[in-house]
Amino acid sequence: MRRFFLSKKDVKKLVEELRSLGFKEELKQVEKAQFKDMEVYLVEGKPLCFRKGGRLFPSLHFAERFELKKIKVDMGAVPHLLKGADVMAPGIVEMTELKEGEIVLVVDEKYGKPIVVGVSLISGQKPEKGKVVANVHRLGDEVWRMKL
């Protein structure tokens, strides 16, 4: 795995890109690692975000530092999501209006803890049935388990 620190100029570019995801903090030192088909950006050895398919996604390690729309799911959906399933309409307890392609954070209804980062597959309010969010990153996946 190739790994190196970003220059100050590249950190500044990354922070500007992260602003579109609601990231408000400043970063001083960021490492970049090539991991399978992703570029992973690390802060203090933990994944801050990753680029997959040309798109930047926040990591669940730092999810609370991003201002993303949240979708609350019932506890029965949680085990399926942690195995990689997409978010289906019947499992959603609460959500705001979405735009198709928007990055969202999925939280459990009991504790409100982030469990999935996904991409909205619909525009508008909660539908009656079907897939609502594609699961991109979840607790326990390879990005979550990265130890660098």
Listed residue (55, 81, 93, 69) closest to 138, CA to CA: 81
Q: What is the mean pLDDT of residues 38-42?
A: 96
Find out whether 117 and 63 touch, Cβ atoms under 8 Å. yes
Q: What is the mean pLDDT of residues 52-73?
A: 96
Find out whether 103 and 68 touch, Cβ atoms under 8 Å. yes
Q: What is the mean pLDDT of residues 121-130?
A: 93
* DSSP-based three-state secondary structure for 11: helix
Domains of the chain, with CATH numbers? 3-64 (3.10.450.120), 68-138 (2.30.130.10)
The mean predicted confidence, pLDDT, of the chain is 95
Find out whether 23 and 43 touch, Cβ atoms under 8 Å. no
Separation of alpha carbons 108 and 9, rounded Å: 38
What percent of the chain lies above the pLDDT cut of 70? 99
Residue 91 scores a pLDDT above 80: yes
Q: Please enumerate in sequence order all residues whose Cβ is within 8 A of that of 82, keeping only pairs 6 or more positions apart, or say none.
A: 115, 138, 139, 140
| pLDDT given at position 80 | 98
Q: What is the mean pLDDT of residues 104-111?
A: 97
Provide the 10 A C-beta neighbour count for residue 117.
26
pLDDT band at 148 (very low <50, low <70, confident <90, very high): low
pLDDT band at 137 (very low <50, low <70, confident <90, very high): very high
* Contacts of 5-9 spanning 24+ positions with Cβ under 8 A: 5/29, 5/30, 5/31, 5/32, 6/30, 6/31, 6/32, 6/41
